[in-house]
Amino acid sequence: MMSGNGKPIRVLLVGPSLRNLGGQAIQARRLLEAFGTLPDLTPSFLPIDPPLPGPLGLLQRVRFVRTIVTELAYLASLVARIPRADVVHVFSASYFSFLLAPAPAILLARLFGKRVVLNYRSGEADDHLARWGWHVTPILRLAHAIVTPSGYLVEVFARHGLAAESVENFVDLDAIPFRVRAHPAPRFLANRNFESLYNVACVVRAFAAIQQEVPAASLTLVGKGSQRADLQALAEALGLREVTFTAAVPPEEMARLYGEAEVYLNAPNIDNMPNSVIEAFAAGLPVVSTAAGGIPFIVTDGVDGLLVPVGDSAALARAALRVLREPGLAERLTSAARARVVRTYSWDAVRVRWLALYRRLATRSAA
């Protein structure tokens, strides 16, 4: 698969860097590394949050000022690098983030006559399009392809009159060792940032009910965010023991935490396709989650995980205790989950779909 001039297709990935750990940054890094192994692609990466050199870097520590100087540096980078690309692959979230990062990249890419892939990844898409659609939709229509990580967002875009296709997130199976948990110990893990849409408080309340039944239970909460202090206060108010709060950690360190845990808990109010769930699948962790947004598209209740209603901490606790107590359940769930990862969420599974997309865009560009 070559560009119109017979050379490898130059793909410019535009997204958040690992300076701010999150699902988009992790997937952008994984795609950059994976695309680099393909002879028909020449990938490069442009961060939406570029660090500024020398004294200018001090400005990025000042609230409000950092937004302005970072945006100016980002726009300058777009102008300098888009002309050297064939396809501009833009990662996208919602609301103001969309206006600050994806929108300028799309507009400048079209101005320079480049093919544009908008890789929209936010579980807040429905609300974003409903409330901001009058000025967001015209920009979205400039993309030559809208790609989402799940069928859930494909359906959301369709309801708003926009065509999208799905190419799933993927995990590096070699980097996350699989371990069978035939009889899980009560060691629980949650890996979501401490923000309201992820409702980590629901996990904490569920764990309180679990610990009443299993006093030796422990919980590790991995993340960062504005609710950290509130969550710590909640754990203390509930009299919980063996609750560990850690900062967000890079992907290579998460493998160890997945390996040490026995059950994965997840309780978002809004979601799309969390990396942490498919990483838990890959590690052999039984997944117990609320059925928010796109999660039922990646977790089939009773087959490869257990799902409960959004916000129901009591149901989350009951499902977690069921994993600990029901003979054979954990092994059955994790065996099916591992097979699903290999079949759907591995690089071998998604590589063909990315290549087909770029081939289509390159062919149309040459025409």
User: Same structural domain for residues 120 and 228?
Assistant: no
User: Same structural domain for residues 152 and 206?
Assistant: no
Determine the Cα–Cα distance for residues 188 and 220; give it in Å rounded to an integer.
Answer: 6
pLDDT in the model for residue 313: 97
Determine the Cα–Cα distance for residues 323 and 207; give it in Å rounded to an integer.
Answer: 14
User: Same structural domain for residues 117 and 218?
Assistant: no
Residues contacting 211, CB < 8 A, separation 6+: 217, 240, 241, 242
pLDDT in the model for residue 3: 54
User: Same structural domain for residues 358 and 273?
Assistant: no
pLDDT in the model for residue 66: 66
Q: If you write DSSP's letter for every residue of 28-62 in order, what string do you get? A: HHHHHHHHTT-TTEEEEEEESSPPPPTTHHHHTTS
User: Same structural domain for residues 25 and 141?
Assistant: yes
pLDDT in the model for residue 79: 95
Domain assignment of residue 355, given as a range? 9-170+346-366
Q: Is residue 176 part of a domain?
A: no
Task: Tell me the one-letter amino acid at 46.
Answer: L
Residue pair 288/306 in contact by the 8 Å Cβ criterion: yes
pLDDT in the model for residue 137: 92
pTM, two decimal places: 0.88
Q: Is residue 316 part of a domain?
A: yes
What's the CATH code of the domain at 214? Answer: 3.40.50.2000
Q: Is residue 242 part of a domain?
A: yes
User: Same structural domain for residues 160 and 51?
Assistant: yes
pLDDT in the model for residue 62: 58
pLDDT in the model for residue 65: 63
- Residue 223 gets the label, from left (phi > 0), alpha (psi -120 to 50) or beta, of left
User: Same structural domain for residues 44 and 140?
Assistant: yes
pLDDT in the model for residue 247: 87
User: Same structural domain for residues 270 and 122?
Assistant: no
Q: Is residue 86 part of a domain?
A: yes
Q: Is residue 14 part of a domain?
A: yes
Instruction: Tell me the average confidence (pLDDT) per consecutive run of 10 residues in the chain, 367 residues long.
Output: 68 86 84 92 91 62 67 91 95 87 94 95 87 87 94 92 94 92 96 94 98 97 94 96 91 90 96 92 97 94 97 98 96 96 94 91 68
| Domain total of the chain | 2
Residue 88 — φ and ψ, nearest 5°? -105, 115
pLDDT in the model for residue 1: 46
User: Same structural domain for residues 352 and 283?
Assistant: no
pLDDT in the model for residue 93: 87
User: Same structural domain for residues 300 and 231?
Assistant: yes
pLDDT in the model for residue 331: 96
User: Same structural domain for residues 29 and 94?
Assistant: yes
Task: Tell me the one-letter amino acid at 270.
Answer: I
Q: Is residue 1 part of a domain?
A: no
Q: What share of the chain is helix, strand, coil (3-state, %, to 5)?
A: 50, 15, 35
Residue pair 281/287 in contact by the 8 Å Cβ criterion: yes
* Helical (H) or strand (E) element with 245: strand 243-246
User: Same structural domain for residues 18 and 147?
Assistant: yes
Q: Is residue 182 part of a domain?
A: no
